[in-house]
């Protein structure tokens, strides 16, 4: 296993990390088995989130007795000091530990960032927890490029998690900035939410970028773990054949794939367009139907509310047929 340093945290972590979303569809015993397999393979980075339902709890159970051999990262959607302090306590309890290595602000909008960093904001709770030794480091996870650009300037940000894969390279320049400023860069969505069907090629493409600290594909089975380990352990340069395949995938997916840049906003009727596409991806490609349905039900405005005005499509830099895609979302979720 190859190890890299996670930016200014100084943590030495395996270049392959464990993405904790899919364990929601197995159970605590299955998670424990996986944790021992990770340990034996030298994978020491675990990513989860308060929002991934039972993920923290399963991991807490699975890591009992071997927690010290892992770097644990979790994240919270809390934006205020009070809510973040409560979430940190919940994460510690769920993960059955007295220390979380990395705690991240989970996918804030621009407005959320003002709240997080303002008086009484979540950052105060994170900094207090860090001073108290409950968490080791503070990071942020983002989906929009303009926020990524802002986040590299925040002095409290030790790590940034952002989508990066062979069809979503919009963050490449900023990944370089992270490397220059010693900010750990964590890759999410290595398979573009499941749209890329060749995990080996996807991981080899990502790991060829020296600015990447760790990639966290979601895994719930030993077969996936073995396949991902083999992919990151092969550090030979991409072959001409692989590069040709990358081009082919880009040509196929390139024009039909939502990059979550949010340039299409605001929708005339308030649909959170990229958020609904993400849920559709979880529903169709991650085998997380129940979870996706529950989240979809909680969305204030459903895809079926689209009045077809086309304003969003005029703003989408990738010319996506958003209206058609939303119709597909509405058909899938039935509303
Ligand atoms: S076409 Fe639909 S999704 Fe796009 S802005 Fe209009 S109402 Fe919103
Ligand atoms: S629909 Fe287009 S503009 Fe909207 S988030 Fe997706 S890629 Fe960006």
pLDDT digits (tens, 9 = 90+) for 197-236: 899 999 999 999 999 999 999 888 888 899 999 999 898 9
* 271 in contact with ligand 1, CB cutoff 6 A: yes
DSSP 173-219: HHHHHHHHTT-EEEEE-TTGGGT---HHHHHHHHHT-TT--EE--B-
Residue 317 clears pLDDT 70, i.e. is over it:
no
pLDDT digits (tens, 9 = 90+) for 81-121: 999 999 999 999 999 999 999 999 998 989 999 999 999 99
What values do phi and psi take at 333, rounded to 5? Answer: -90, -5
pLDDT grade, residue 70 (50/70/90)?
Answer: very high
- Nearest ligand 1 atom to the CA of 270 is 8
- Nearest ligand 1 atom to the CA of 313 is 4
Q: Distance from the CA of 283 to the center of ligand 2, in angstroms?
A: 19
pLDDT digits (tens, 9 = 90+) for 273-296: 999 998 988 888 666 888 899 999
Q: Which residues are catalytic?
A: 52
**Mutual orientation of helices 273-285 and 322-333 as an angle, nearest 10°?**
50
pLDDT digits (tens, 9 = 90+) for 9-35: 999 999 999 998 878 778 899 999 999
Q: What is the pLDDT of residue 255?
A: 60
Q: How far, in whole angstroms, is CA 179 from its chain's centroid? A: 19
Q: Distance from the CA of 270 to the center of ligand 1, in angstroms?
A: 8
CA pair distance 8, 208, nearest whole angstrom: 21
Minimal-distance CA residue to ligand 2 atom 2: 316
pLDDT digits (tens, 9 = 90+) for 162-205: 999 998 898 999 999 999 999 999 999 898 877 788 999 999 99
Question: Which tokens is 164 given?
Answer: 């990066």
Say which ligand is closest to the CA of 269.
1
Q: What is the pLDDT of residue 222?
A: 87
* 116 in contact with ligand 2, CB cutoff 6 A: no
DSSP 3-state assignment of 281?
helix
Q: Distance from the CA of 181 to the center of ligand 2, in angstroms?
A: 29
- pTM for the full model? 0.81
């Amino acid at each position: 296993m190859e190890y890299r340093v996670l930016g200014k945290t100084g943590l030495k972590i395996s270049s392959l990390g464990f993405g904790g979303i899919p364990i929601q569809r197995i159970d605590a015993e299955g998670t424990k088995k996986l944790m021992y397999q990770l340990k034996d393979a030298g994978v020491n980075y675990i990513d989860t989130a308060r929002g991934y339902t039972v993920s923290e709890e399963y991991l807490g159970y699975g890591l009992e007795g071997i927690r010290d051999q892992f770097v644990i990262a979790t994240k919270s959607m809390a934006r205020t000091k009070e809510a973040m302090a409560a979430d940190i306590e919940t994460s510690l309890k769920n993960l059955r530990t007295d220390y979380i290595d990395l705690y991240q602000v989970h996918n804030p909008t621009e407005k959320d960032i003002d709240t997080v960093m303002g008086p009484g904001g979540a950052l105060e709770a994170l900094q207090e927890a860090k001073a108290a030794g409950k968490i080791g480091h503070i990071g942020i996870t983002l989906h929009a490029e303009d926020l990524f650009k802002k986040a590299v300037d925040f002095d409290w940000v030790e790590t940034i998690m952002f989508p990066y894969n062979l069809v979503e390279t919009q963050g490449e320049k900023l990944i370089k900035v992270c490397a220059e400023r010693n900010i750990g860069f964590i890759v999410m969505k290595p398979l573009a939410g499941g749209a890329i069907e060749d995990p080996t090629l996807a991981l080899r493409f990502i790991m060829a970028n020296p600015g990447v600290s760790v990639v966290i594909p979601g895994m719930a089975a030993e077969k996936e773990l073995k396949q991902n380990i083999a992919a990151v352990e092969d550090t030979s340069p991409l072959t001409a054949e692989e590069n040709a395949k990358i081009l082919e995938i880009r040509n196929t997916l390139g024009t039909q794939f939502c990059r979550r840049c949010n340039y299409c906003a605001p929708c005339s009727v308030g649909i959170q367009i990229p958020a609904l596409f993400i849920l559709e991806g979880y529903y169709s490609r991650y085998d997380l139907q129940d979870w996706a349905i529950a989240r979809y039900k909680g969305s204030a405005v459903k895809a079926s509310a689209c009045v077809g005005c086309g304003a969003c499509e005029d703003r989408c830099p990738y010319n996506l047929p958003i209206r058609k895609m939303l119709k597909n979302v509405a058909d899938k979720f039935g509303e």
